[in-house]
Amino acid sequence: MASNGGSLTRTEQKTTLWCGARAEDAKLSLFGMKLSGGGAHQSKTMMFRELEALIGTGASTPEEFRSAAIDENAIGKATSNTRRLTFRHLASLYGLVDQPPLTKALMRTWKGDIQGRRLRALLVALARDPLLRETAPVVMTGSVGQSLQRPLFEEAFVAAFPERFSEKMLRSLAQNCASSWTQSGHLKGAVKKLRQRVTPTPTTVALAALIATASGFGGPAILSSGWMMVLDLSPEQALDALRRAEAIGLARVRSAGDVTEISVRQPMATALGVPELEYV
């Protein structure tokens, strides 16, 4: 869906799209977000197929994930070195080893809502890979049916990081990010990437609201944050989805006149059995 992200400076995008006025770096890091640096997309995509296969083994602890990926080859790689490298990138992108609250929320919602898995994986990948976040405005400002090709993603990186990446790295980054946006459902097509609208589940919208809350947004600002826009939701649609999430115990929405109160921390902490979510 269209947004004004393309007209904002990088600093303004960071504040307006991803971080609200009450954001605190220390709390964001504890929650599981990565605010700077590189990420898995320098050499990999969001690797949804591998993530789904790995979680599908029933693993939950760092040791179980590592054993399932490397010893049992749940991720389907030909050599032990490839399995180790892939697992290292998966663990970094999704927090499978340190398992911050964000990762626990992803894992606890995995089994109960199959339809929303791709978009929830994308939300976590966005939270944990600053490079993928840089490409989000390209996708969010694209209209349905619009062709979004590699040069647009390359331009986003050049604008954000002048002279930081070689042409070869820019091409690889752009291809990997475009692949991730295809895996999430925002793009379709093997070569010619066309924008399409995604349809998030209530559980996915609740996770987006949780990330927005942890990122310093409150009240109606949650509904217009980048975490909702990336799900192709207007504020009105986001609010409606959160009301449906309330029906399954993942949110609480209260409206009185022009005041809207949105709470997801306590409901999700209770429903998912992750008490630390209440304090993010």
**Average pLDDT of 125-135?**
97
Domains, the chain, in order of start with CATH, read: 5-32+126-195 (no CATH), 40-115 (no CATH), 202-279 (1.10.10)
Mean per-residue pLDDT for 77-91?
96
Q: Give tens-digit pLDDT for 185-201.
A: 999 998 899 999 999 99
Whole-number pLDDT of residue 3: 38
pLDDT on residue 15: 57
225 DSSP assignment: S
Q: What CA–CA distance (Å, rounded) separates 94 from 104?
A: 10
> Could you tell me the pLDDT band of residue 37, with boundaries at 50, 70 and 90?
confident
Regarding predicted confidence, which is higher, 236 or 12? 236
pLDDT value at residue 185: 98
Predicted pLDDT of residue 190:
86
**Mean pLDDT across the stretch 209-237?**
96
The C-alpha atoms of residue 181 and residue 132 are separated, in whole angstroms, by 9
The first and second tokens of residue 244, run together, are: 């449906």
Tokens 């320098």 belong to residue: 42
pTM beyond 0.85, yes or no: yes
Q: Please name the residue that has the structure tokens 């993530």.
A: 51
Average pLDDT value over all residues in the chain: 93
Per-residue confidence at 21, pLDDT binned at 50, 70, 90? confident
**Token output for 45:** 């995509």
State both tokens at 94. 């999704």
